[in-house]
């Protein structure tokens, strides 16, 4: 197990997710494509028993991730009902997958890029779920057997970071929270206030 990132570091990274979502994604949010298969929250499975209840998530900075995901329309959920009996670690994984899926879908649409195949989409969802739920579990010593058993490394990734800057930034920030926490976001994003600005930058780079 790696060292748990400092709580302040994690709060800062979660703050970046909230900031990017509110500034860039929320106003142009695209509906989810067809639902993708996922792992049912372990406390809603046929053999529940994970002890890390939702209350742990709901009383920390991580609740911001849950609030973003709850506001996404049309995105599949691994919990049939969202309640305090949900496994907190499963919820973080599910929320992370839903958020990155929403960012990916919205960026592809906003930049007029072709859709990606299901395998690549699943890989991106799995990467975000793995990265954020691992950080949560390390912080609270709340590792979940369901998530540990279904995290899938590798798989195809969609396009380069210079085509999907927000989605790529999210994955990069959480790949190694301790290493990336003090690093700034992609510098030119600081000059953008909407997805239309990002699109103009991407178009100018393509034609340069």
Is residue 28 within 8 A of residue 103, CB to CB? The reply is no
**Is pLDDT of 51 > 90?**
no
Q: What is the pTM of this model?
A: 0.86
In a domain, 33, yes or no: yes
Q: Which domain holds residue 139?
A: 7-207
In a domain, 1, yes or no: no
Helix and strand numbers (H, E) in the chain are: 9, 0
- In this structure, the number of other CB atoms found within 10 A of the CB of residue 109 comes to 15
Q: How far is 49 from 110, CA to CA, in rounded Å?
A: 42
Q: How far is 96 from 66, CA to CA, in rounded Å?
A: 8
pLDDT in tens, 119-151: 888 889 989 999 999 999 888 888 877 665 555
Q: How would you class 168 by CB atoms within 10 Å of its CB: exposed for 0-12, middle for 13-18, buried for 19 or more?
A: buried
Higher pLDDT residue, 49 or 67?
67
Q: How far is 134 from 5, CA to CA, in rounded Å?
A: 10
pLDDT in tens, 166-197: 999 899 889 877 665 556 567 788 889 999 99
What integer pLDDT is reported at residue 1 of this predicted model?
Answer: 46
Number of structural domains found in the chain = 1
In a domain, 2, yes or no: no
């Amino acid at each position: 197990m790696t060292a748990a990132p400092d709580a302040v570091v994690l709060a800062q990274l979660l703050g970046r997710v909230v900031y990017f979502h509110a500034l860039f994604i929320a106003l142009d949010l695209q509906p989810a494509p067809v639902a993708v298969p996922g792992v049912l929250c372990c406390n809603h499975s046929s053999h529940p028993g994970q002890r890390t209840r939702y209350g742990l998530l709901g009383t920390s900075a991580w609740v911001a991730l849950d609030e973003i995901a709850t506001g996404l329309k049309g995105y599949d959920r691994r919990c049939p009902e969202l309640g305090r009996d949900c496994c907190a670690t499963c919820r973080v994984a599910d929320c992370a997958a839903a958020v990155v899926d929403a960012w990916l879908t919205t960026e592809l649409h906003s930049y007029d890029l072709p859709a990606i195949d299901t395998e690549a989409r699943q890989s991106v969802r799995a990467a975000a779920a793995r990265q954020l739920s691992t950080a949560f579990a390390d912080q609270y010593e709340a590792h979940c057997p369901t998530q540990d058993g279904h995290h899938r490394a590798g798989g195809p990734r969609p396009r380069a970071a210079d085509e999907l800057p927000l989605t790529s930034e999210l994955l990069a920030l959480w790949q190694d929270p301790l290493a990336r926490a003090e690093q700034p976001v992609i510098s030119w994003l600081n000059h953008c206030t909407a997805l239309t600005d990002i699109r103009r930058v991407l178009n100018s780079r393509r034609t340069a």
